[in-house]
Amino acid sequence: MATLPLSSTTPSTGRTENCFSSYYSSSISRVMEFGLKNGCNSKLLFSSVNYKPMIMRGSRRCIVIRNVFSESKPKSEEPIIEQETPSILNPLSNLSPDSASIASSIKYHAEFTPLFAPNDFSLPKAFFAAAQSVRDSLIINWNATYAHYEKMNMKQAYYLSMEFLQGRALLNAIGNLELTDAYGDALKKLGHNLEAVACQERDAALGNGGLGRLASCFLDSLATLNYPAWGYGLRYKYGLFKQMITKDGQEEVAENWLEIANPWELVRNDVSYSIKFYGKVVSGSDGRSHWTGGEDIRAVAYDVPIPGYQTKTTINLRLWCTTVSSEDFDLSAFNAGEHAKANEARANAEKICSVLYPGDESMEGKILRLKQQYTLCSASLQDIISQFERRSGEHVNWEEFPEKVAVQMNDTHPTLCIPELMRILIDVKGLAWKEAWNITQRTVAYTNHTVLPEALEKWSFELMQSLLPRHVEIIEKIDEELVDTIVSEYGTDDPKLLMGKLNELRILENFHLPSSVASIIKDKITCQVDEDKKIEISDEVDGLVVVEESEEGDIEKQAVEEPVPKPAKLVRMANLCIVGGHAVNGVAEIHSQIVKEQVFRDFFELWPEKFQNKTNGVTPRRWIRFCNPELSSILTKWIGSDDWVLNTEKLAELRKFADNKDLHTEWMEAKRNNKQKVVSLIKERTGYTVSPDAMFDIQIKRIHEYKRQLMNILGIVYRYKKMKEMSAAERKEKYVPRVCIFGGKAFATYVQAKRIVKFITDVGATINHDPEIGDLLKVVFIPDYNVSVAELLIPASELSQHISTAGMEASGTSNMKFSMNGCILIGTLDGANVEIREEVGEDNFFLFGARAHDIAGLRKERAEGKYVPDPCFEEVKEYVRSGVFGSNSYDELLGSLEGNEGFGRADYFLVGKDFPSYVECQEQVDQAYRDQQKWTRMSILNTAGSFKFSSDRTIHQYAKDIWNIHPVNLP
């Protein structure tokens, strides 16, 4: 299907003129030729263009231009015979393009939407032409989807996330459209292989880790299940960074994913919104607050279609790009030679969408991050409100807003949705505070993704007040009302209890109490707490002063000194999310329990009805169907149909074949073929040669101390040391050959994580060149890990490590992908590991380590000096310090594991505590792997037990329990 030619309307006549009208006016066919890769010529015959009008909904008249072109049957060097493509005037007709029409469409785009020289049809050009051809089909379904949504005016969900880690789109799109074979044949006719063409696509650099990949899986499920929804994010020009591995470890360079172009996006220059920063708030004569002055930028929409599987539904991911108008370019300054000053406004605007998570150690970095978050929230909400008003027609009933709109905040990054929605409703739309607050709370919901204190965002009040003065006023009022609620709930009879609740629950941290509440408590200047203690509220101290009575009855006030300097005033974003929304969910059963019992215990006691669990999931389309076609075929054969792609419960039927020898043979063959692909990947990316007959042991995820890549590599070092102490025969008998594969990025300013990367690569450089060890042990760090790399590694995996400190991983989603692909996990009872182990069976999961409820006690034991390290842990650290892995000093890295207390020390993540258990568990892995029949059975049962972890199940639960939206089937 070709794209529509550009058109314009002639004002005087109202007629629509094709931009290429002079070219087509004679209705004479044209043959275009271009050289293919193999040197032969292919010809495309374009017949006359037919103009047919179509009246769309509404008052505007839209002209659709139909392009009729054709292609020949099989003979590749003969002129093409006319073959009319399906009419684009009926977007909902059942289109079944064959390879011939697809080849014609690809040729059309190679000619008329070129990014390359006309005399070349290389792989990159073939990819762009193929992608634009696919996009034509997506646009048809996409426009039809939203035309129907406009007509039906049903409730929609809007998913706001700072990350969308999509991966490559070509194979996913044609897979969902069920056109994989047709595109494969079409490209073959044009001299290219589909897989080679697909490899030309660069991963969209819009995310970093599980947060962004989850968001993308959710969009796939929303489209597949026909739920009305949008995604909103930012269009990062340079992504996070491209990771280079050098002799010094990780180095970062800017991502180049947009360097040529992104064939999937469409810029919507007519969809843009003003975003303001700084300035001041003034009261107008109308009684409203007006935010004036300051810095103004524009957020422009870039749309990416997201197709569902076996459905016409195609939803939208709208990404915002920031800029300013040409009027903001200071031409006078430029002509005066002040070029940087002339372009200052544009540079300030564009840098907002330059980099994902810019370093925030400087004040400039903090400002930029807050600007990013506000831009996402403001532009998205303005767009959502614009849609609501348009669909409402002349009579907008704001009370219906929560009945038409559900906003989901993916983590705390979009928290500013709450004060921004309040600002728009009150200041722009003229609603009263109470009405606006009711609407906001019914509209917004929050997903928590972490229990780590540093990841629960807190913003400087002073910074926020400068950058977003009106929002601070709104947040202050929300906090004041929250204080009133807390006082009403707990009363003032027990000031100590009340102050404890206020300290935990308030949005504003290190603030004086509102005067109304302070005066109530001051009426109880001295309150009896127990027989020995009294409480007094002091003017000098924000909080309680404990006073004690001496035996003589005299009161001795404990010294309470005002901190110097005063603690910074902060805005607690997670608290604002909970207060301002109607639902709070964790992302795994154990995580949700920790959220309720520890992280937000006081909020749970206050509003238990707000808290839910929604265990994460991943899309089985990308993570089995498309990335592992051999396994997919096996599943379809043994289950009896491919219904499992949409109904993963069908995977459980594999259990009855778990001991079938024929299935074992097919299963092992598919796994080895996938391993062979990874052998090639490793050779290409690192230069190392590894054996496909070794066990592939993989840990791929963001580098972080709590994920404990350090434990993994220390375990490998311990294994290597023991190997070196044995004879060749003893080594072979004791150890199963392994290829230990790592992948993941360390945040650019996370020094300890970067030390771990350096250590892994140093260990690999030593072990991989040790002739005594040979193929018995290899260590590989694959640089620049991304979705496309994961799509190769996960199908080839045999053992996967999910070994975070118990109670610290919210869920994890890579563990689900590995399990779906028949990989056996070694891990702790953390995050979704708990539920995966329950589903696949305890015998099919390698478990080690402390439990979540033990962690606090173990840290306390360490702080009290009672911890006694295991000899094997001391042994491995000493071996590292011996210099066997080079001259680099690892004192700072290993120093984090020493001592009993202090920042960055005392082994906060319990590597030493869990290390002996980990080593013992790895011995069990070796023993199990030697029995390949047993191992294959375990592998099959992992896939069979993974059915729960489809994002389809998760989305159904969000839709029912939080968003209250329903599937909408297109006519």
Positive or negative torsion for Cα 860, 459, 578, 810: negative
Positive or negative torsion for Cα 603, 607, 608, 612: negative
Question: In the predicted model, is pLDDT for residue 282 greater than 50?
Answer: yes
Catalytic residue, candidates 501, 625, 817, 837: 817
Positive or negative torsion for Cα 834, 839, 843, 844: negative
| Helix/strand/coil for 307 | strand
Chain mean pLDDT for the chain: 88
Q: Within 13 A of 570's CA, how many CA atoms are on the CB side?
A: 16
Question: In the predicted model, is pLDDT for residue 949 greater than 90?
Answer: yes
Contacts of 445 (CB under 8 A, 6+ apart): 406, 407, 408, 409, 581, 582, 583, 584, 585, 962, 963
What the block records as the tokens of 470 is 């009106």
Q: Is 391 a catalytic residue?
A: no
Nearest to 165, CA basis, from 223, 227, 231: 231
pLDDT at position 93: 36
pTM confidence score: 0.88
Catalytic residue, candidates 107, 423, 671, 707: 707
Query: What average pLDDT does the segment 682-702 reach?
Result: 97
For residue 452, name the pLDDT band (cuts at 50, 70, 90): confident
Residue 738: strand pairing partners:
695, 777
Over residues 201-237, the pLDDT tens digits come to: 999 999 999 999 999 999 999 999 999 999 999 999 9
Q: Where are the beta strands (DSSP E) in 398-532?
A: 405-410, 444-447, 458-460, 508-509, 526-528
State the DSSP H helix or E strand holding residue 160, giving kind and residue range, or none if neither.
strand 156-160
Query: Is 957 within 8 Å of 614 (Cβ atoms)?
Result: yes
Nearest to 608, CA basis, from 595, 619, 621: 595
Over residues 336-395, the pLDDT tens digits come to: 999 999 999 999 999 999 999 999 999 999 999 999 999 999 999 999 999 999 999 999
Catalytic residue, candidates 107, 449, 650, 708: 449
Over residues 396-417, the pLDDT tens digits come to: 999 999 999 999 999 999 999 9
Question: In the predicted model, is pLDDT for residue 150 greater than 60?
Answer: yes
Q: Is 107 a catalytic residue?
A: no
pLDDT at position 523: 64
Question: In the predicted model, is pLDDT for residue 475 greater than 50?
Answer: yes
Over residues 893-944, the pLDDT tens digits come to: 999 999 998 888 999 999 999 999 999 999 999 999 999 999 999 999 999 9
In this predicted model, which residue has the larger pLDDT, 526 or 447? 447
Query: Is 281 within 8 Å of 263 (Cβ atoms)?
Result: no
Question: In the predicted model, is pLDDT for residue 527 greater than 90?
Answer: no
For residue 9, name the pLDDT band (cuts at 50, 70, 90): very low
Catalytic residue, candidates 805, 813, 943, 954: 813
Query: What average pLDDT does the segment 406-435 reach?
Result: 97
Q: Is 702 a catalytic residue?
A: yes
Catalytic residue, candidates 107, 404, 471, 702: 702
Question: In the predicted model, is pLDDT for residue 22 greater than 70?
Answer: no
Task: Please state, for a pLDDT cut of 70, what percent of the chain lies above it.
Answer: 86
How buried is residue 290: exposed, middle or buried, by Cβ count under 10 Å (0-12/13-18/19+)?
middle
Over residues 636-670, the pLDDT tens digits come to: 999 999 999 999 999 999 999 999 999 999 999 99
Over residues 324-338, the pLDDT tens digits come to: 999 999 999 999 999
pLDDT at position 516: 72
How buried is residue 363: exposed, middle or buried, by Cβ count under 10 Å (0-12/13-18/19+)?
exposed
Q: Is 648 a catalytic residue?
A: no
Query: What average pLDDT does the segment 532-544 reach?
Result: 45
Over residues 32-50, the pLDDT tens digits come to: 333 333 333 333 333 333 3
**What distance in Å separates the CA atoms of residue 300 and residue 285, rounded to the nearest whole number?**
32
For residue 26, name the pLDDT band (cuts at 50, 70, 90): very low
Catalytic residue, candidates 572, 701, 704, 738: 701
**What distance in Å separates the CA atoms of residue 1 and residue 704, rounded to the nearest whole number?**
46
Query: What average pLDDT does the segment 578-586 reach?
Result: 98
Nearest to 402, CA basis, from 379, 376, 425: 425
Q: What is the DSSP letter of 55?
A: E
